[in-house]
Amino acid sequence: MNKSRLIAAAAIAAAVVFLMTPSTGGRDKTMTLDASHFGEKHVSEKGLEVATLAGGCFWGMEDLIRKIPGVLETRVGYTGGSLKNAAYTDVKTGMTGHAESVEILFDPKQVSFEKILLFFFRAHDPTTENRQGNDRGSQYRSAIFYHGDSQRKVADEVKARVDRSGKWGKPVVTQIVPAGEFWQGEEYHQKYLIKHPDGYTCHFIRDFSFD
């Protein structure tokens, strides 16, 4: 098997692990990416990276991000709060501190974290605090949950660049905070707009850059 096929096989295997990682306790759909489960070490050994982003209802955000070349897999869920084994019925109250989020497995040789963030800032309005479109509540906030100092630095730089550009007309309020436990959303939320092509979304790509 040549080198390119080996790399492709490794990427596919990692994507399968990303989807099949077993939960430990709580409800069946609970998954985390801390060191005891899928983990940063497992990702880095395969030359892949994980990004975790929140920008309103995760249906529309996931549907756009999953199409970026170099994104190998996505899943939606809840992070940023204190409640263990968070489920939609909890998070929708806006009382758990969790945000509806998209967890992204990507190949940095194909797409950089910076490019994913620039896309993210075109796919949602980062100037509306605890709101996206008609959806209101802290669970719909804009946030970047960084995995390590390198991602934090890139996130700070990209947010500042977006602000300086003035393209949104108002200050960017996107939170930049460390990634924590990620509780995978219920199966009916995963790839929702593939299952329901005419389903609800308030996300679309704006036709501007941040130069």
Torsion, Cα of 40, 45, 48, 52 (10° steps) = 0
- Chain position carrying tokens 């490019």: 115
What's residue 1's pLDDT?
52
Catalytic one of 48, 57, 117, 143: 57
Report the pLDDT averaged over residues 14-25.
42
What's residue 211's pLDDT?
85
How high is the mean pLDDT of the chain? 85
With 60 as the cut, is the pLDDT of residue 39 above it? no
- Residues 183, 201: Cα–Cα separation, whole Å: 22
Asked if 147 contacts 189 with a C-beta cutoff of 8 angstroms, the reply is no
With 60 as the cut, is the pLDDT of residue 36 above it? no
Higher pLDDT, 117 or 8: 117
Q: pLDDT tens-digit profile of 42-63? A: 576 689 999 999 999 999 999 9
57 a catalytic residue: yes
What's residue 54's pLDDT?
98
Helix, strand, or coil (residue 113)? helix
Q: pLDDT tens-digit profile of 73-128? A: 999 999 999 999 999 999 999 999 999 999 999 999 999 999 999 999 999 999 99
Helix, strand, or coil (residue 27)? coil
- In the chain, how many H helices and how many E strands? 7, 8
Separation of CA 209 from chain center: 21
Short-list 148, 138, 145, 149, CA closest to 177: 145
What's residue 31's pLDDT?
39
Asked if 197 contacts 63 with a C-beta cutoff of 8 angstroms, the reply is no
Percent of the chain with pLDDT over 90: 76
Under the banding of pLDDT at 50, 70 and 90, the label for residue 2 is: low
Higher pLDDT, 7 or 86: 86
What's residue 160's pLDDT?
98
Report the pLDDT averaged over residues 198-211.
93
For each of the domains in the chain, give its residue range(s) and CATH number, in order of start. Answer: 3-195 (3.30.1060.10)
Query: Structure tokens of 126?
Result: 């980062």
What's residue 92's pLDDT?
96
**Sign of the C-alpha dihedral computed for residues 50, 56, 79 and 175 taken in this order:** positive
